[in-house]
Amino acid sequence: MNTELKNRRKGKKIFIGLVIVALFFLVVALFQVLWNNLMPEIFGLRTISYCQSLGLLVLSKILFGGGFGRPGGGFRRKFRRDRTLDSSDISEEDKEKLREEWRRRFDSKCRF
């Protein structure tokens, strides 16, 4: 009984892997169709082949990240803000000065 359960899990993993691969190829084909139907008419660009659309998607993933995999890849990772600062790093006097400055700048604009 235990081997039957393992075989089901193995079959399920293989099926999910095949579905992911098929979806990837469908996304590339969809990208190609959208490019070829929109970009030549809007911007006067040439149509692209399936391999070129795959290359464009991979290049955009490298540069901009997002989509599939870990978000925030590419060059954006280098410019991410340092999130280690805490409000406890600011003295109470500086916090009050900041509050007053915000009130002075935005109080009249943000009233409801």
Over residues 55-82, the pLDDT tens digits come to: 999 898 888 876 555 555 545 555 555 5
The count of other CB atoms within 10 Å of the CB of residue 53 is: 21
Domain boundaries, the chain: 2-74
pLDDT in tens, the chain (112 residues): 577 777 788 889 999 999 999 999 999 999 999 999 999 999 999 999 999 999 999 898 888 876 555 555 545 555 555 555 566 678 889 889 988 888 888 877 666 5
Residue recorded with tokens 């464009």: 56
Write down the pTM of the prediction. 0.54
